[in-house]
Amino acid sequence: MPAPVLCASCAARRAALRRPKTGQALCRDCFVAAFEAEVHGTVTAARLFRAGETVAIGASGGKDSTVLAHVLRLLNERHGYGLRLLLLSVDEGIAGYRDDSLAAVRRNRGRLGLPLHVVSYQELYGWSMDRIARHVGPRNNCTFCGVFRRQALDRGAALLGADKIATGHNADDIAETVLMNFLRGDVGRLRRCAEILTGGEGALPRCKPLKHAYEKEIVLYAYFQGLDYFSTECVYAPNAYRGHARALLKDLEATRPSTVADLVHSGERLAVREDVRMPTQGTCQRCGYLSSQPLCKACVLLEGLNRGLPRLGIGKPSRLQKALLDGEKCVPLAILAGLVRSCKLEPLKSRKCPTPGDVAGV
């Protein structure tokens, strides 16, 4: 029988895991302490919060936002951040997914002792995601959902008088986004996506306190702390482009374990040449939300849904925006032709969330 591996930090207890981020063998207590200390280090190094601020935590009921809410509440008390924390959930209207994950958020509200506010697509836009999916078909659902969710969180946070939104994006999410924006050649988003604090200039600031936390370590932390979260994947996720970036990232990670951190670092270090034209921020002429076009993406997508042309807002926006602003009842055929191009990517196999057993490594 091989001798049990001792914790590399306290050298007293048996190691319960090998940290995916550092390879260190740690016991449960030392891992939990290291994880919390690192999130605190991220918060203080980037000066994410100021005392007295109201912070709306985007709470989906999944592992990332559940860990975020738990750790932020704990660090707020432990280190006296002086924050007023709230939970803010978005109900996209996805039966069998969001209704169940919101039930987890409601259970955590009691445990955390934080107020919860829920905004829904149905009340904000008059459409649920399930209804949108029936109109749009199996592809591009995440385009609608992502655009609507971003606005819904901003609107909900503004309603609550929040100064900032904290989201549960982790290092793997950011690495995937860097990869996706690179593959799409989206320089504007590529430059912003690795920033820990975004917004300002009229938008509510958003921050990512788990920016340097690996997904696998979030799963382990949730397990060791006995957190209650919802781990089923969204029914529309297998068709999402992000899934392909995730699969590529996992392949790269298998041969080079530091891939996640490397990609986050690449995103941070990216410099855009001064002569590259970047989108300029203005406000949507219809709803007043921040937009680099005369109409924001949400208004264009909504217009398409309401006209019975759900693919209207997918693709290049310029001529379509002009047609809508000019009040044309019919969108020119040439524009519509461009909108019916179909994506060639095949759906990915459904991806299960990693379990603590998958990632403990000792």
Report the amino acid identity of residue 292.
S
Residue 301 contacts ligand SF4 per CB under 6 A: no
CB 82 within 8 A of CB 223: no
Q: Does 137 bind ligand SF4 (CB under 6 A)?
A: no
> Which residue's CB is nearer to ligand SF4, number 146 or number 202?
146
Position 282 contacts ligand SF4 (CB under 6 A): no
Quick one: CA dihedral 345, 350, 355, 358, positive or negative? negative
Supply the minimum distance, in Å, between the C-beta of residue 155 and ligand SF4: 17
The helix or strand, by DSSP H or E, that contains position 219, with its residue range, turns out to be: helix 215-224
Site string for ligand SF4, 71-110 (x = CB under 6 A): ---------------------x------------------
With binding defined as CB under 6 A, does residue 146 bind ligand SF4?
yes
Choice from 26, 207, 237, 301 touching ligand SF4 (CB under 6 A)? 237
- Look up residue 14 and give its DSSP letter: B
298 part of the interface to ligand SF4, by CB under 6 A = no
Q: Please name which of 205, 202, 339 lies closest in space to residue 284, comparing C-alpha atoms.
A: 202
Other CB atoms within 10 Å distance of the CB of residue 361:
13
Answer yes or no whether residue 236 interacts with ligand SF4 by CB under 6 A: yes
Q: Which of 305, 283, 303 is nearest to 293 (CA)?
A: 283
Rounded Cα–Cα distance for residues 93 and 127 (Å): 8
- Smallest distance, ligand SF4 to C-beta of residue 270, A: 25
* Closest CB to ligand SF4 among residues 24, 232: 232
- With contacts defined by CB under 6 A, name the span among 18-26, 115-123, 142-150, 252-260 that binds ligand SF4: 142-150
Residue with tokens 């319960």: 16
Q: Which are the contacts of 246, defined by CB distance < 8 A and separation ≥ 6? A: 172, 176, 351
Q: What angle do CA 133, 136, 140 make, to 5 degrees?
A: 85
Q: Choose the binding region for ligand SF4 from 69-77, 231-239, 299-307, 353-361 (rule: CB under 6 A).
A: 231-239
How buried is residue 113: exposed, middle or buried, by Cβ count under 10 Å (0-12/13-18/19+)?
exposed
Residue 43 Cβ, how far from ligand SF4 at the closest point, in Å?
Answer: 26
User: Is residue 253 close enough to count as binding ligand SF4 by CB under 6 A?
Assistant: no
Q: Which C-beta is closer to ligand SF4: that of 35 or that of 148?
A: 148
Beta carbon of residue 4, minimum distance to ligand SF4 (angstroms, whole number): 41
CA 355, CA 284: separation in Å to the nearest integer?
43
Annotated binding residues for ATP: 58-60, 64, 90, 168, 173
Query: Which residues are near ligand SF4 by CB under 6 A?
Result: 92, 129, 141-142, 145-146, 234, 236-237, 240
